[in-house]
Amino acid sequence: MSSPLPPRLPAASASPTGDDDAALTFLRPFLDDPRITDLLVNGEDGLFVDRGAGLERVPSWSADEAEVRRLAVRLIALGGRHLDDASPCVDVRLDHGVRVHAVLAPVAVRGTSISVRIPRRHALDLAALERSGMLSASARRRLESLVERRENVLVSGATGAGKTTLLTALLSAVPADERIVTIEEVCELRPRHPHHVALEARQPNLEGAGGVGLARLVREALRMRPDRLVVGECRGPEVRELLAALNTGHDGGAGTLHARSLVDVASRLEALGALAGMDPATMARQSASAIDAIVHVERVHGRRRVAGWGRPVVQDGRLRIEPREWS
């Protein structure tokens, strides 16, 4: 079933806000559909959406390259940034946590590319994820135990596998009297929790000034009395600050990491450690001390599922992930 979209992009009105109106008109059908989590525009090649069962093409939609480029510029402008030939790759967050990433041609070889991530209106808890089939009853009990015992958890998986969804559910299980501070490049974590402070990185301006990176935000968060410190995605040298924080008494922390499988998490952490100037032996000791559990999620035939979990251990001076049973 396709979205109720017009066959072509809406034209801008003559009003001063015409560009914004056209961009919002494009987004509105997707925002109104609670099943849609991602929409992708591949230049003139078409529009694809994900309703939870994998990507599907929207056959009623079409646009030429000029229209897709104009739409990309409008959407990025809604987030307060400029998309042009001098800055052809831009990522912004819109209201309600909608994330837009755009790449102009010719950097995007087959035409301007737009990727939009739409968060769920209501964060799912672990019980809801169990009902959806993402995790088993035994996995749910184990995950609830990890939260209750304030274990530091790293959620791993590929892009779109459900890392943010699972981490949001874990954070929603945190007791209401604890303070959660989350740090993200673009804010996507929206747990059901009354005491959640979200920090978002800021890119530098055209003069190269004013940038606030994840590593600095981790240091700032430590001054905010967090009961739970969370880095939405570890992808660079900020992993050093996170491990240092978790190793100095900040239990119950969490983060996410891109990795193809549970065992690949070790090599991925070593690579990030190298970016932070840490050799493999140091990274192994720091990780095994700071991280209590690694939970891996994957997507199989379009369905997200929690695939397994393990504990980090040091073997022969190198980091390894030891798989564990749920029970």
pLDDT at 94: 83
Q: What is the largest CA-CA distance in the chain?
A: 68
Q: With cut-offs at 50, 70 and 90, classify the pLDDT of residue 215.
A: confident
- The whole-number pLDDT of residue 21 equals 65
What pLDDT is stored for residue 11 in this prediction? 43
Residue 264: how many other CB atoms lie within 10 Å: 15
Topology of the domain covering 22-117:
Beta-Lactamase (3.30.450)
CA geometry: angle at 247 spanning 245 and 248, to 5°? Answer: 70
Whether 164 and 188 have beta carbons less than 8 Å apart is answered as yes
* H-type alpha helices, 202-264: 214-221, 238-246
Contacts 24+ apart (CB under 8 A), 322-325: 323/262, 323/263
> Residue 121: its pLDDT value, please?
65
CA atoms of 40 and 47, how far apart (whole Å): 6
Which single residue is written with the structure tokens 């017009």? Answer: 6
SS3 42: strand
Query: Model pTM?
Result: 0.78
Domain definitions of the chain by residue range: 22-117, 126-324
Measure the CA–CA gap between 304 and 157, rounded to whole angstroms.
10
Q: For 212-225, what is the mean pLDDT?
A: 87
55-80 pLDDT per residue, tens: 888 888 888 898 899 999 999 998 88
Asked if the model's pLDDT at residue 83 lies above 80, the reply is yes
Q: What one-character DSSP code corresponds to residue 276?
A: T
| Fold match between domain 22-117 and domain 126-324 | no
Residue 15 reports pLDDT greater than 50: no
Q: Among candidates 96, 94, 69, 68, which has minimal Cα distance to 81?
A: 94
What's the rounded mean pLDDT across residues 95-115? 90
Whether 292 contacts 311, CB under 8 Å = yes
The residue length of the chain stands at: 327
pLDDT of residue 9: 45
- 5 phi and psi, to 5 degrees? -100, 150
Q: Is the pLDDT of residue 133 over 80?
A: yes
Q: Which CATH number fits domain 126-324: 3.30.930.10, 3.40.50.12780, 1.20.1630.10, 3.40.50.300?
A: 3.40.50.300
pLDDT at residue number 1: 40
